[in-house]
């Protein structure tokens, strides 16, 4: 049960494995103490390095799959509407349009989702949650494969990043807020029917901004008691990394009554949190 003032947040570092620079940024923020979850991109150029880091930090870091359909190569080869002839994923806008109009074969999509899940397990890691790079797990066709596979792999947490949660960012993904809300609404309904839950979603948009600390603290201070997922992207050289790796800033966040958490620690939460 939640205490009167309790606010537990799963700070989740995205894009582990996408590059060595991202891996190093995630290493630093995990050691600082706020970040206790990460999402691994198994098609990323530094995926094996990211997996090794996750194994090294397994006592303090939960790891999920950041499903990739817009970066790297498909593990299963060519997929109509999603990759080029060499199996390289197409840009996000093309992938989304293809999914929206039903071009990809559902069986091919399902095989790729399964292959990425198996790859993560083959790295010797348990899978705490599933999401998608650039929100691909919400896309038509892909979402069905994701939510069919998640229960089979014992995955009970996912991300449903609606624009009406406690967010501080400008929506510029694809065609905007209405489309995102439509996708998220359908995704949440299907996820609930499969027994896969999500938390209210938080993010501080980092593009061309240098006031991350104040914006982060302002958003954190306004949260009601409850449990949330907060997405972070601690790239080397960023104001975001500078803040999240700073012990003084970490203490500032804790002083707001916030407890960092892992998804596995929330497995006994009440159903309404899903």
**Residue, of 23 and 238, whose pLDDT is higher:** 23
Q: Which CATH number fits the domain that encloses residue 210?
A: 3.20.20.370
Question: Residue 163, Cβ neighbours under 10 Å: how many?
Answer: 16
Domain holding 58, by residue range, is 7-266
Does 1 map to a domain? Answer: no
Q: Which residue has the higher pLDDT, 225 or 207?
A: 225
Asked if the structure places residue 153 within a domain, the reply is yes
In a domain, 154, yes or no: yes
Which tokens sit at 182?
Answer: 């439509």
CA pair distance 233, 202, nearest whole angstrom: 12
> Would you say residue 271 lies in a domain?
no
Q: What is the mean pLDDT of the chain?
A: 90
Instruction: Answer yes or no: is 2 within a domain.
Output: no
* pLDDT per residue as tens digits for the range 173-199: 445 667 778 888 999 999 999 999 999
66 in a structural domain: yes
Distance (Å, whole) CA 93 – CA 65: 21
Look at the chain and report how many structural domains it folds into: 1
pTM of the model: 0.91
| 272 belongs to a structural domain | no
Q: Are 129 and 158 in contact (CB under 8 A)?
A: yes
């Amino acid at each position: 049960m939640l205490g009167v003032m309790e606010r537990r947040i799963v700070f989740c570092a995205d894009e582990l494995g996408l590059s060595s620079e991202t891996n190093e940024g995630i290493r630093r923020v995990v050691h600082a103490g706020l970040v206790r979850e990460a999402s691994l991109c198994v098609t990323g150029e530094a995926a094996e390095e990211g997996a090794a880091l996750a194994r090294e930090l397994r006592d303090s870091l939960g790891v999920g799959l950041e499903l990739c359909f817009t970066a790297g190569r498909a593990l299963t080869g060519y997929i109509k509407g999603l990759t080029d002839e060499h199996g390289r994923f197409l840009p996000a806008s093309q992938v989304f349009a293809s999914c929206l109009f039903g071009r990809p074969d559902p069986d091919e999509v399902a095989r790729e989702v399964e292959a990425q899940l198996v790859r993560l397990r083959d790295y010797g890691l348990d899978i705490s949650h599933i999401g998608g790079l650039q929100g691909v797990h919400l896309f038509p066709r892909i979402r069905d494969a994701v939510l069919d596979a998640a229960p089979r792999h014992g995955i009970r947490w996912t991300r449903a990043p609606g624009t009406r949660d406690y967010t501080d960012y400008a929506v510029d993904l694809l065609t905007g807020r209405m489309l995102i809300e439509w996708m998220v609404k359908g995704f949440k309904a299907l996820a609930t029917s499969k027994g896969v839950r999500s938390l209210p979603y938080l993010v501080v948009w980092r593009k061309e901004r240098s006031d991350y600390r104040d914006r982060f603290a302002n958003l954190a201070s306004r949260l009601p008691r409850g449990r949330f997922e907060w997405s972070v992207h601690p790239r080397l050289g960023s104001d975001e990394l500078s803040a999240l790796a700073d012990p003084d800033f970490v203490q500032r966040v804790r002083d707001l009554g916030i407890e960092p958490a892992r998804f596995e620690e929330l497995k006994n939460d009440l159903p309404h949190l899903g």
